[in-house]
Amino acid sequence: MSDIKKIKEEFLNKLSDKLDLSEINEIKSNLFGKNGLISSQFKMIGSVPDNEKKKFASDLNNVKDELQDLINSKIDELQNIEINKKLEKEKIDVTLPERNFIRGKIHPVSQTIDEISSIFSEIGFSVEEGPDVENEYNNFTALNTPDNHPARDMHDTFYLDEKKETLLRTHTSPVQIRTMMKDKPPFKIIAPGRTYRSDSDQTHSPMFHQVEGLHIDKDINMGHLKGCLNYFIKEFFEVEKIKMRFRPSHFPFTEPSAEVDIGYEIKDGKIKIGEGDQWLEILGCGMVHPNVLKNVKVDPTKFQGYAFGIGIDRLAMLKYGINDLRAFFDCDYRWLNHFGFDPLDVPTNYRGLSR
C-alpha cells in the first residue's frame, strides 16, 4: 500500500473514534501543520519519478481534500453541539417578572458644580483642578499665610504626616498657585472641588466643597470683581436683581479682602434671594496679594487681579431648600431620590457644559 493510502486509512480510523475538539485539532495539525504528514508528502513530489508524478500529486490532493473535509465537518459538528449546550443553559425565561429598574440621580452638589462651571464659562473662565492631598507650600506658604496663622492649627487642618508637609487641602486656593506656576499670565480660571477641615455640625462638615476663582491680567480691578460676582449670583439664583454687599475682611492672600453677603428674606417659609433685609455671607474675595504673585513668578508691577472662594454646599442648600449640610454626605438613597436631579432633565440655566 502506498504511503498516501496508509495515511488515509490510519486517519480515517482515528477520525471514526469519539473525539473532542482539542483532539481533532491535534489530528489536524499532525496532518496539515508545517511538518504534518500531508505537508511532508507534498514536499516529496520533486523526488517522484516523472511518469508517476501526475498520479502521485492527484492522489495526494484527493486524500488531502477528503481528510480536510472530514476534519472540518467534524469540527463544525462539535462546535454546534457546544453552542447548543450553551444556548440550552442560557435559555431566557420570558415569563420571569422584570427586575426593578432604579435610575440614579445626580447629587445636588454635582448639579451645583455643573451650574457654577457653566455660568463662569459663559464669561470666559476655564475650569482647573487640583489634588485633594496637597502640600503645605501650595496650601499655606505660597498663599502668604504665615506660620502662626490659625488656619494652620492642627484643630483645623488634617495633616497627613508628622512633619506637617502634606495635608488635605483646607481650601481650593492652592489651585491658584498650581495654575500660575504652570502657565504664564493672563489667568482666568475657576477651580471647583472638595476641601477639608476638622469641623462638624449642622452647617459644617469635615469635607465640603468650594469653587475658587482667579482672574489676573494687566488692568483688572475691584470693579471687575464686583461685576463678575454680581453676574454670577444673578445667574445662579435665576433672579433679575440682587442685593449684594462687600464687607471688609482679611485673608492673607488678598489685599484688600472682602466678604460678600447677599440680601434675602423668608416668604411663606421659602427663601427669596434679592429681596428683604436679611444678609447672608456666601464668599470671600479680594485683590490677589503681591506676595502671592511674587511666589509664582508673576510680576506684580505688571499684573494684578482678583480671586474669590465660594462655598458650594451653602449655595446648593440655599438654592434647593436643603437645611442640613450633613444630609449631603449621608448617602441616603431616599434623600437623593428627593433632592437629586434626573440625569435626563436639563436644568433651566444649564448650558450643556460637561465636566
The residues that touch ligand DAH, with contacts defined as CB under 6 A, are 171, 173, 212, 251, 254, 284-286, 307-309
C-alpha cell at 161: 504626616
Min dist. Cβ of residue 99 to ligand DAH (A)? 45
Minimum distance from CB of 319 to ligand DAH (Å)? Answer: 20
Q: DSSP string of 23-77?
A: HHHHHHHHHHSTT-HHHHHHHHGGGS-HHHHHHHHHHHHHHHHHHHHHHHHHHHH
SS3 state of residue 278: strand
Cell representation of residue 229: 460676582
Which residue, 218 or 250, is less far from ligand DAH as judged by CB? 250
C-beta closer to ligand DAH: residue 264 or 308: 308
- Smallest gap, in angstroms, from Cβ of residue 149 to ligand DAH? 12
Kindly tell me which of 120 and 339 has the beta carbon lying closer to ligand DAH: 120
Region for residue 251 given its phi and psi (left: phi exceeds 0; alpha: psi -120 to 50; beta: otherwise) = beta
Burial class for 302, CB neighbours closer than 10 Å (0-12, 13-18, 19+): exposed
Which residues are within 8 A (CB) of 153 and not within 5 positions of it... i.e. 6 or more apart? none
Question: Toward ligand DAH, which CB reaches closer, 54 or 149?
Answer: 149
Where does residue 331 fall: left (phi above 0), alpha (psi -120 to 50 degrees), or beta otherwise?
left
Nearer to ligand DAH, 84 or 126 (CB): 126
CB nearer to ligand DAH: give 63 or 116.
116
| Distance of closest approach, residue 292 Cβ to ligand DAH, in angstroms | 9
Q: What's the closest the beta carbon of residue 267 comes to ligand DAH, in angstroms? A: 30
- Shortest reach from residue 328's CB to ligand DAH, in Å: 18
Find where cell 462638615 sits.
Answer: 205
Q: Which residue of this chain has its Cβ atom nearest to ligand DAH in the complex?
A: 309
